[in-house]
Amino acid sequence: MNIVKIPALKDNYIWILYNKGKGLVIDPGDASPVFYILDKLHLTLIGILLTHYHTDHVGGIDRLKKAFPDIPVYGSYETRHTGATRIVQDGNIIRIMDHSFKVMHLPGHTLGHIGFFCDKEKWLFCGDTLFTAGCGKILEGTPQTMYNSIIKINSLPLDTLICSSHEYTLQNLKFARTLLPEDNILLSFEKKVKKILNHSKILPTTKLFLERKINVFLRCNDIEIYKKIGINYTNIIQPIHIFTHLRKMKDTFVMFLFTYSIFIF
């Protein structure tokens, strides 16, 4: 099975899996780049997987279904009005192209958000739940529901490829380095990212073992982070408290960057 990460819209990624002339697409927010890859690789689309209902993840479905009217579109109940034809839920197994994809309920960004884990390849398509060095915004859930989803991802095999749906890596690393400015792994990875971005718009996809080192939202048991955010480590403080605090800090950090960019430019 082959995998392609396609940049789309402002900062989205669409994923296409293919083998033997057949293709499967995940979160097609825009049909045009999907058609381009299908044509370039001479593929017939045989299925669509949806992680959640937001337009930037489902916007290309209508055009794709017109071109391939019989393809199944798998999604949770919340995607039923956006083009899903086969409703799935946590624990279901989708078998397609000689591979099995386990459905994982990952609420937080939206209440019905799901992910798809391909055990054979160790690929996780997690939508807007986890990003390289960061996590998604909590739009419908609570910090607890999002944290539970991240714990679920963190329990997967260490060599799992984290296939998320947006490119926020550099912003996430800048935030992490405000907390851990002397972390050599973060510093080294940030330099690598900047170097790649000077030559390409597409960054390599990370695996879980690296995310555990560069993603502060997977380090809520890290005493160094406790210290940096001004919380004294005690048995009373739980990782969920740290996660909640980090998510609030990240939201403020993003707003600061947005305001600063408007002021400068």
* Residue with the larger pLDDT of the pair 231 and 58: 58
Number of domains in the chain: 1
Residue 264 is predicted with a pLDDT of 33
Residue 225 is predicted with a pLDDT of 85
pLDDT at 265 exceeding the cut of 70 = no
pTM of the shown model: 0.92
Please, which pLDDT band fits residue 233 given cuts at 50, 70 and 90?
low
pLDDT at 48 exceeding the cut of 60 = yes
Residue 219 is predicted with a pLDDT of 94
Residue 216 is predicted with a pLDDT of 96
CATH number for the domain spanning 222: value is 3.60.15.10
Q: What is the pLDDT of residues 91-102, one digit of tens each?
A: 999 999 999 999
Tokens describing residue 114: 């799901």
Return the percentage of the chain with pLDDT > 70, whole number: 93
Please, which pLDDT band fits residue 229 given cuts at 50, 70 and 90?
confident
Please, which pLDDT band fits residue 254 given cuts at 50, 70 and 90?
low
Residue 223 is predicted with a pLDDT of 81
Mean pLDDT of 252-262: 52
Please answer whether residues 13 and 166 qualify as being in contact, where contact means their C-beta atoms are separated by less than 8 angstroms.
yes
Query: Which residue spans within the chain are E strands per DSSP?
Result: 2-8, 12-19, 22-26, 44-49, 73-75, 86-87, 93-96, 99-105, 114-118, 123-127, 130-131, 134-135, 161-164
Residue 261 is predicted with a pLDDT of 38
pLDDT at 259 exceeding the cut of 60 = no
Q: What is the pLDDT of residues 191-207, one digit of tens each?
A: 999 999 888 878 999 99
Please, which pLDDT band fits residue 257 given cuts at 50, 70 and 90?
very low
Distances (CA, A) of 160 to 67, 137, 213, 224: 33, 22, 14, 26
pLDDT at 256 exceeding the cut of 50 = no
Residue 235 is predicted with a pLDDT of 58
**For all residues of the chain together, what is the average pLDDT?**
92
Q: 67-72: long-range contacts (C-beta < 8 A, 24 or more apart)? A: 67/35, 68/44, 71/45, 71/46, 71/47, 72/47, 72/48
Domain carrying residue 9: 2-264
Please, which pLDDT band fits residue 232 given cuts at 50, 70 and 90?
low
